[in-house]
Structures are given as C-alpha cells and as structure tokens.
Amino acid sequence: MIKLHTKITLQPEKNQIDYSSKVLLLGSCFATNIGEKFEYFKFQNLVNPFGIIFHPIAIEKLVTRAINKNYFTDDDIFYHNEKWCCYEVHSELSEIEKETYLKNLNKRLLQLNEYLKSASHIIFTYGTSWVYRFIETDSIVANCYKVPQKKFLKGILSEEDISASIDNTITLIKSINPTVNVITTVSPVRHIKDGVIENTRSKAHLITGLHKEVSAKNRIYYFPSFEIMVDELRDYRFYNEDLIHPNNTAISIIWEAFKNVWISEETNTIQKEISTIQAGLQHKPFNPNSESHKLFLKKLQEKMEGLKNHFSHIKF
C-alpha cells in the first residue's frame, strides 16, 4: 500500500483532561487556536490573559510576576502612538486611559495567579527563539510596539537559555501547584519575517532546549504540534493564504490528535451535545416567529439548562 504522508504515532497519556479539569494555555497564536477549541467545547480554560506571547523569557516574566503578585505600576508602562503600552504584554491590551490600562493589567494578573495555583493542566506553546532587548533597560521584551528598531538589539536564545527559562517557569509554578500537568509544544507557525533559515534555527533551539525539561516522571510532557504540521500536513493546502499560519483544517487535525492524547474519552458524549447546541445557536431561521422555531429554541434552552445543572461552569 502506498503511503502519501508520514503518520506520527501518538499514545493516550495519563492524567487526561475532563470537565472537572482547569486548563491554562499560554504562548503563541497557536495557543489561542487550540484555546478556541477548549472554549467551543466548554472546558474550563484561560487562554493568554496578556495576549499572544512568543518566547520563553516573556512567558517566564509574566508567570513570575503573577505568582509573586508583582502588580503593574506607572514604571512598567509607557505612552506610545496615543496609547499606553507595556513591553511585557501584547499590544492588543493597550488603552487610551492610563488608569484603565493599569487596572486591566492587574485584573488579568490576579486572574493568571488564580489559574496558576488551581490549574490541573498548563499548556505552553513556544513560538520563537528570537528576542529583542530594549537597550535603555537592558531587558528582553515581549512586544516592540513598532518602536524604532535602533532602540533594540536582536538576538537568538541559546538552547541553554531556553532550557533554563522553561525550568525556572515550571519550578516556580510547581512550588504553588505541585501536581499540575505541564504540556509543552512548539508552534507550527513559521516566523519567516526573520528569514526561512532563521526560522529553522529558531525552532531547532526551542525543540532542543525544551526537550531537556520534558519528564513524564515530573508531569512535564511534549505534544508534537510542530511535527504534525511539517510531517503529516506537509502541503500548502493546510496553510492560510499567507502560507505561514495553519488553516482551520490543519488546526482541526492537530486538535483531533491532541484530543486522542489528552482529552478523556468519557467527555465525548458531552462534547457532541455541546457541539449540537453550538450549531443550534448559530442556526438562522427562515421565520423567527414560527411555532416550529419557538419549539426549537425551547428544546435548545432545555439542553443548555441540563448541561448547566451538571457542570456549573458551562455558559453559552
């Protein structure tokens, strides 16, 4: 039989995710993609409270700040392009009003603190080894905010840098949440603005540094999102038009692989029921005032109430 692609063999892990689990996802835009699946199927989750974060140092800084409750102050923010910004978080959080911005940042800090203490599973998706160091403070940033490039030095994290940063992050988390399961992965998104060769170097550093920390004994695991994309899905039909980001088909395939490894089979019935409700909520009736549509809405509401009675966290 002719094989048309390489199949990566995966086995279900212990300590799988079910509807009693709390899942925290931090990292690149691929973390957001997978987080949307968790949200769609109504698992308890928190996804990138400080926006998309690409590299290990930036994630380590935010985790450390959250665990220590080191609140954001005036010293941590700056005014740029008529908005308040912070080099530690994504630009999507920027605000016109300073007080609103600081209040929002610290609200998210407490939210992250709570999840780091109570999460059953934390998923880190690392995107790049390339970093920018702000010359004025000699500190690595998460986002440059299109500030002139002359104010930064660009560099690449070594395998040792990455391993040390990930180790620091996980050690700190386990000091307050010793039984948490940590799932690491490398984003399949190609950062070709750095250059194709530079992207390969970046991913290689991440994979090598990351695998120094993987240990099933310590509940630190690796899921091969990157490998599935570049081996099983080795075709541009699985990319968006930018030829950089995985498209919905690719994300769904990787999600299915993740489910087989990390989501308990016992949740399948509930997932199907939730999927039916989600489809019903998206339904556009020909006649909203018809008796048949009113009956449809009544049955849909009954299904939602039934799920809420079993799982109080589920909201539609």
Condensed to tens digits (0 to 9), the pLDDT of residues 111-124 reads 999 999 999 999 99
**What pLDDT score does 228 carry?**
95
How far is Cα 156 from Cα 142, in angstroms, rounded to an integer?
14
The better pLDDT of the pair 30, 208 is held by 208
Average pLDDT over residues 30-44: 94
Average pLDDT over residues 207-211: 97
How far is Cα 126 from Cα 29, in angstroms, rounded to an integer?
10
pLDDT tens-digit readout, 245-260: 999 999 999 999 999 9
How far is Cα 54 from Cα 47, in angstroms, rounded to an integer?
14
165 to 57, 158, 235: CA distances (angstroms): 6, 11, 33
Describe the crossing of helices 56-67 and 159-176 by its angle, rounded to 10 degrees: 20
**What pLDDT score does 225 carry?**
96
How far is Cα 83 from Cα 92, in angstroms, rounded to an integer?
11
pTM over 0.75: yes
Confidence of residue 302 (pLDDT cuts 50, 70, 90): confident
Confidence of residue 315 (pLDDT cuts 50, 70, 90): confident
* Averaged confidence pLDDT in the chain: 94
What are the tokens at 300?
């849909």
Provide the percentage of residues in the chain whose pLDDT is more than 90: 81
DSSP 7-69: PPP--PPSS-B-TT-EEEEEESHHHHHHHHHHHHTT-EEEE-TT----SHHHHHHHHHHHHTT
Side-chain half-sphere CA neighbours of 252 within 13 A:
5
pLDDT tens-digit readout, 147-197: 999 999 999 999 999 999 999 999 999 999 999 999 999 999 988 888 999
85 to 89, 145, 150, 157, 247: CA distances (angstroms): 8, 8, 19, 25, 30
Average pLDDT over residues 25-54: 95
How far is Cα 203 from Cα 209, in angstroms, rounded to an integer?
10
Q: What are phi and psi of 184, to 5 degrees?
A: -110, 150
Nearest to 94 by CA among 85, 103, 106: 85
Residue 2, pLDDT above cutoff 80: no
Average pLDDT over residues 57-61: 98
Q: Is 84 helix (H, G, I), strand (E, B) or coil?
A: strand
Q: Is 2 helix (H, G, I), strand (E, B) or coil?
A: coil
Average pLDDT over residues 267-278: 92
